[in-house]
Amino acid sequence: MEGLVSLKTTPRISFQSIPSFNHRSSFFLRRSSMDLPLRRSKFPATRAQQSETISLKKEEEEDALKVKEWEVGMFQNEVAESQGIRIRRRPPTGPPLHYVGPFEFRLQNEGNTPRNILEEIVWHKDTEVSQMKEKKPLVALKKVIENAPPTRDFLGALKAAHLRTGLPGLIAEVKKASPSRGILRENFDPVEIARAYEKGGAACLSVLTDEKYFKGSFENLEAIRNAGVKCPLLCKEFVIEAWQIYYARIKGADAILLIAAVLPDLDIRYMIKICKMLGLAALVEVHDEREMDRVLGIEGIELIGINNRNLETFEVDISNTKKLLEGERGEMIRQKDIIVVGESGLFTPDDIAYVQEAGVKAVSYTSSAHIAFVV
């Protein structure tokens, strides 16, 4: 209160006690010495400030986008892990600078070394697809698809071959190399091999399109389609994004491979819808009980491939097919009228008979020596 009282007594001290000369001289000094230069520099300074503000805003937006992308990646990994998927989509990285968010206390420092060959392939594919998307945006692919010829009935061809021969329909693989076996054929002509498979009685063809690990290419797929081969074509690729499905379609694919060991359920559901929209069949590949159970719980599945090769260790065991088709799983597959494809490790007539007895109606081969099985 004393302060308030003292403030009330101060009005007797007036600004009029300040000499007016000093006030006017200060005013004229500011006018004469500073006003004109300020007018000349005002606009450039404003533009610079605006530019700096825009730059800062852009940096903030880019930082926010990086944080969001990083959080999405972390969330995808958590969803995948909850579904038993051990393959990480990309190398683990630390959070963006000054990151504060829901994953702040859940970070894992596992290093950036792939755990197995499948994870190595997926990490490389992530970089490869990002580069391809920059050159060929999805909008451009959709325009090409508008004028693309119709697809061929991959699923129908397998069913027809099985009904016609009483044996599993053959999906013959056009493959130059693999990580486990190296170069399979030095003198590799994809069109010549595809024609030989078709002449030998193959119902469908599978074309490897991965370049780094399998020495394949989308150009091989396109060349086979343009060569007049009538067999429906499966694009055998490590799909991690829907963009690859569109790209496979414009290159002549009639079906696409989706690997449950890599893709969470939500991705598989979404990609199956994309496939149906584009007229493609989706071959969903599994290699253990948990993956089979996941896939059987997804609506719209018509074609399941059972890989007898563990994609993490590359060990092969054809009894895996029988194990995954026993009991309730086999009954559900029959009720849903799902076609099962046996994959990997099938080299003799006895191997074929074994998986056919288990419930397989199609098989996948690499060597043309086995074409006689379905003729």
Between the alpha carbon of residue 65 and those of residues 1, 77, 242, the distances in Å are 55, 18, 21
Q: Is 198 labeled as catalytic in the residue annotation?
A: no
Among 125, 176, 236, 322, the active-site one is: 236
Three-state secondary structure along the chain? CHHHHHHHHHHHCCHHHCCHHHHHHHHHHHHHHHHHHHHHHHHHHHHHHHHHHHHHHHHHHHHHHHHHHHHHHHHHHHHHHHCCCCCCCCCCCCCCCCCCCCCCCCCCCCCCCCCCHHHHHHHHHHHHHHHHHHHCCHHHHHHHHHCCCCCCCHHHHHHHHHHHHCCCEEEEEECCEECCCEECCCCCCHHHHHHHHHHHCCCEEEEECCCCCCCCCHHHHHHHHHCCCCCCEEEECCCCCHHHHHHHHHCCCCEEEEECCCCCHHHHHHHHHHHHHHCCEEEEEECCHHHHHHHHCCCCCCEEEEECECCCCCCECCHHHHHHCCHHHHHHHHHCCCEEEEECCCCCHHHHHHHHHHCCCEEEECCHHHHHHHC
From CA 310, how far away is CA 163, in angstroms rounded? Answer: 30
Q: Is 8 labeled as catalytic in the residue annotation?
A: no
Among 173, 222, 237, 241, the active-site one is: 173
Among 178, 206, 307, 364, the active-site one is: 307
Among 178, 206, 320, 344, the active-site one is: 344
Q: Is 361 labeled as catalytic in the residue annotation?
A: no
Q: Is 230 labeled as catalytic in the residue annotation?
A: no
Q: Is 307 labeled as catalytic in the residue annotation?
A: yes
Among 222, 343, 361, 364, the active-site one is: 343
Among 175, 176, 251, 322, the active-site one is: 175
Cβ atoms 103, 76 nearer than 8 A:
no
Cβ atoms 186, 217 nearer than 8 A:
no
Q: Is 125 labeled as catalytic in the residue annotation?
A: no
From CA 99, how far away is CA 55, in angstroms rounded? Answer: 21
Cβ atoms 202, 374 nearer than 8 A:
yes
Sign of torsion, CA 115 118 121 126? Answer: negative
Q: Is 186 labeled as catalytic in the residue annotation?
A: no
Among 251, 285, 291, 320, the active-site one is: 285
Residues annotated as catalytic are: 173, 175, 236, 285, 307, 343-344
